[in-house]
Chain A
């Protein structure tokens, strides 16, 4: 699923909640206040906000860069590191950030 497709799904899933996830990249419209199902942490110098939306999750890194996460098997997966799953959204995002620092991708 590309980002635009995710955003369509996310917009539908967010109806009736306090989260209004609409628009297109660069994902600068995420809520600034903590919300239910939201996790905030820092990893390797980046500020990360993860918002769970139905069976998916969306991470915003440094308030701008978005990464879509998919619930898969007993964990979470992303097309950026497509050959495994991670136990939690946080573990996955930490791996993606490590991968960026290793030069494998740009978030």
Chain B
């Protein structure tokens, strides 16, 4: 399949409806939950054992791992409905400006979008929109199992989760990451380095960027099961788009480490915990992956 990825706020109501309907088909047939489980699996693979890195976070493969899983989800959506042009992205950095300083007012968070904020009187569950009936998966830490949450409904606390953050990343954070950080990543390949990858992930100088978006949405987006909420894909699609912008400025093939880094994070290592196994090298050039951002 090929993908044309657009700003979700530029899609027509019909296009959004086709997208959310396809998500619903994948949820109903179990495909969607498989992606959630793979994300949890990647989170639980420390690289190496005893480090703070895992297969998909706090380490170099953060960007290629999520590019790969986005591609797999995009392909799954298009297999359901070939009229879907591609995974849309959510420009979270614009939402405060577009909504008078209150990104909760975005039309993304409406019944015609991806549903609204959670209802504080109902356990912060999202009661409207296309995913209101979804049963989320949660981790049972004692058993390691990923199990259905007894009560249906995604949980969101937009900008008000006590475990999260009050604001979304402003455009200045995007500019900072892209303009100031010319090195993709460097040793010790973890959350401590001031590099493009880590600025994007949001540990360096954080919480910022990707981490801050998870924290602002709150609820299900705060846990390792964060793909429960479809905004996960829209969020990461914007992260991926920004990486592609950076690659356009800094070069497509300057991924690091080429070798000598943690297992699963070197250029030609197979990344762990993906639906379709791939290496970082496989996903560096989106032209080869036949999708584009507009």
- Chain A interface (Cβ within 8 Å of chain B)? 1-3, 5-6, 8-9, 25-26, 64-67, 70-73, 77, 79-84, 95, 98-99, 102-107
Residues of A within 8 A of B224 (CB): 79-80, 82
- Contact between chains at A1 and B163 (CB < 8 Å): no
CB pair A106 B138 closer than 8 Å: yes
Secondary structure type dominating chain B contacts: loop
Query: In the complex, what residue of chain B is closest to A92 when comparing beta carbons?
Result: B163
**A9 CB contacts on chain B under 8 angstroms:** 49-50
Choose one: A5, A82, A105; the contact of B50 (CB below 8 Å): A5
- Knowing A80-B224, A103-B151, A106-B147 touch, does A70 contact B52 (C-beta < 8 A)? yes
Residues in chain B near residue A8, CB distance under 8 A: 49
Whether B141 sits at the interface, judged by CB under 8 Å, is: yes
Which chain A residue has the least Cβ–Cβ distance from B204? A73
Check A105–B141 contact: CB distance below 8 A.
yes
Are the CB atoms of A79 and B54 closer together than 8 Å?
Answer: yes
Nearest first, the 10 A-B pairs at minimum CB distance are A1-B46, A5-B49, A106-B140, A83-B214, A83-B211, A104-B223, A72-B52, A95-B163, A70-B52, A9-B50
In this complex, which of A84, A98, A104 has the most chain B Cβ atoms within 10 angstroms of its Cβ?
A: A104
Interface size bracket, B side: 35 or more
A5-B50, A102-B124 known; A79+B192 contact, CB < 8 A: no
B167 to chain A, nearest CB (A): 14
Binary CB contact string for chain B from 210 to 238 against chain A (1 if under 8 A, 0 otherwise): 11001100011011111000000000000
Binding site for A on B (CB under 8 A): 43-44, 46, 49-52, 54, 57-58, 123-124, 138-144, 147, 149, 151, 155, 162-164, 191-192, 202-203, 207, 210-211, 214-215, 219-220, 222-226
Given contacts A80-B223, A102-B123, A104-B219, contact A2 B144 (CB under 8 A): yes
Query: What DSSP secondary structure best describes chain A's contact surface?
Result: mixed
Give the docked Cα–Cα distance between A98 and B225 (Å).
16
Q: Is the CB of A98 within 8 A of B123?
A: no
> Do A82 and B141 have beta carbons less than 8 Å apart?
no
On whether A107 and B43 interact (CB within 8 A), knowing A82-B57, A84-B215, the answer reads no
> Least Cβ distance of A86 to chain B in Å?
9
The minimal Cβ–Cβ distance linking B181 to chain A, given in whole angstroms, is: 18
Given contacts A64-B142, A102-B123, A102-B155, 20 further A-B contacts (CB under 8 A): A1-B49, A2-B46, A3-B144, A5-B50, A8-B49, A79-B43, A81-B163, A82-B223, A83-B202, A84-B211, A95-B163, A98-B163, A102-B124, A102-B219, A103-B138, A104-B220, A104-B222, A104-B225, A105-B141, A105-B223
- Tell me whether B43 and A65 are in contact (CB under 8 A): no
Closest chain-A Cβ to B152's Cβ sits at a distance in Å of 11
